[in-house]
Chain A
Amino acid sequence: MMMQPTRCTNDKPGDPGYEEHLAAFEARVGRGDKVEPGDWMPCEYRQQLIRLIHVHANSEICGALPEGGWIPHAPTFKRKLALCAKVQDEVGHGQLLYRAAETLGKSREEMIEELINGKAKYSNVFHYHAKTWADVCVIAWLIDAAAIVNQTMMADGSYGPYGRALKRICYEEAFHLTHGYDMCISLATGSKVQREMLQDAVNRWWEPIMMFHGPSDKESKHTEQLMKWRIKLMTNDEQRQTFLKKYLPKMLNLGLTVPDPNLHFDEATKEWRYTEPNWKRFLEVVRGNGPASALRLATRRMAHEEGAWVRRALAAAQAGDKVPMPTAA
């Protein structure tokens, strides 16, 4: 058998031999060694990774929804082709990540089920409506940019299967980022209406984008442990700075403004200063109380139910049964 998730024994504090196992594990991870599915790992390491990868996978699946809705309304055929490709990539990334999480012992079935039932979280940014075409451009450029900062860092993390999936994902997302920037350049150098549309989208998306990397280091409860085990290699605030340093100058260069009067570059620390996002609101949103949360889950559930006949047909074919025809909805 290959790559079967093995439940480790003595993997919790207080278990016999736990401290010795933990010391060896942390020494290995500290050297930059990768952890593979059959290896001993602390139960907490496994649980944290399952939680992170599951949320990440759900975010890819839900991330396809705001953009998918715009495919019929893309302004040109070329943009429509690119958007179709991007949406297909996002769904593919979801599947890659569910597989990576499965190597830790949670089934894809459970993860899909928990998303549909509203028990599992997904990224804050996909709880908002994509109101105009400019929203699609801002999502593709800046949200993919923020995601690439996160994923490039996570790809070097300690868990082998997650890192492998992320390397493939980052490679594909390079196209999303380039195409997103290309679309934003078109609007920023276009007519007055187009420029205003882009600025309006930036105004509405700025806060969700500033929340994307998660609560500030002062409030983040998992960061220290995650960094010790090299699941994460940068704190949330460090990721936000990396994003701002690279992309804010590009935004300003397009003639865009950002709706934060406190935003400025601090020459002394060489860091951007900004108004701290409202983390209480962030938690409300990711718990499923964002403007588009109900719509996202309803769409996901509908897709799952309407695709059930395909899964039934495949299962029937496998069992050698007659394949049932789809019934009208």
Chain B
Amino acid sequence: MSTDTQWRVFEVFHQQSRGEPHIHVGSVHATDGESALLMAKEQFGRRQACVNMWVVPADAITETAYEDADIFEHGTDKSYREAFGYETTKRARAIGDTRDI
């Protein structure tokens, strides 16, 4: 069996316009970053707007395990980290502040 098509995998991220975040769109096989960009442009840049593209070797990415998804769950009420966790508008009205807070 030949092995000349089994190159490294690069994950591809594109940015649709300046100011937007880069979004993961898929992956390509390539020998290096430069050829990965060439492949990624053909594969993921045929239609939608794109001003910038990143390619990252897949083996450079470290990820969490799905079975450990509970590490992102909150053990206690974290609403004090949110604006909606406060009834300050009501309290502000009570002291005569009628403007937006």
Contacts and interface: CB of A to CB of B under 8 A. Distances in A.
Interface string B24-49: 01111111100100000011001100
A31 to B, nearest CB: 15
Given A109-B2, A109-B6, A113-B2, A95 B65 contact: no
B26 A96 contact: yes
A110 interface: yes
A1 B62 CA distance: 5
B26 A168 contact: yes
Interface in A130-180: 164-165, 168, 172
A112 interface: yes
B47 A172 contact: yes
Contact of B61 (A1, A165, A315): A1
Contacts of B43: 92, 95-96
A48 interface: no
A318 to B, nearest CB: 4
B1 A99 contact: no
Given A2-B62, A317-B31, A89 B3 contact: no
A99 B26 contact: yes
Interface stretch (A50-58, A209-217, A306-314): A306-314
A3 interface: yes
Given A99-B26, A107-B6, A89 B46 contact: yes
Given A1-B59, A2-B58, A96-B43, A308 B29 contact: no
B10 to A, nearest CB: 11
Interface string A83-98: 0010011001001100
Contacts of A39: 66-67
A38 B65 contact: yes
Instruction: Among A2, A3, A39, A96, find the residue whose CB has the most chain B CB atoms closer than 10 A.
Output: A2
Contacts of B7: 314
Contacts of B32: 317-318
A109 B3 contact: yes
A105 B63 CA distance: 18
Nearest to A107: B6
Interface string A292-329: 00000000000000001001101101100000000000
B6 A99 contact: no
B4 interface: yes
B98 interface: no
Given A1-B61, A99-B26, A172-B47, A315 B2 contact: no
A108 interface: yes
A96 B25 CA distance: 11
Nearest to A304: B5
B31 A314 contact: yes
A36 interface: yes
Given A1-B61, A39-B66, A112-B5, A95 B28 contact: yes
Interface of B: 1-7, 9, 11, 25-32, 35, 42-43, 46-47, 58-59, 61-63, 65-67
6 tightest Cβ-Cβ pairs between the two chains A and B = A2-B61, A318-B31, A109-B6, A311-B4, A314-B31, A2-B63
14 contacts: A1-B63, A2-B11, A38-B65, A38-B66, A88-B42, A92-B42, A92-B43, A108-B5, A108-B29, A109-B1, A165-B26, A168-B25, A168-B26, A172-B46
Given A95-B43, A112-B5, 8 more contacts: A1-B62, A88-B42, A92-B42, A96-B26, A109-B2, A113-B2, A172-B47, A317-B35
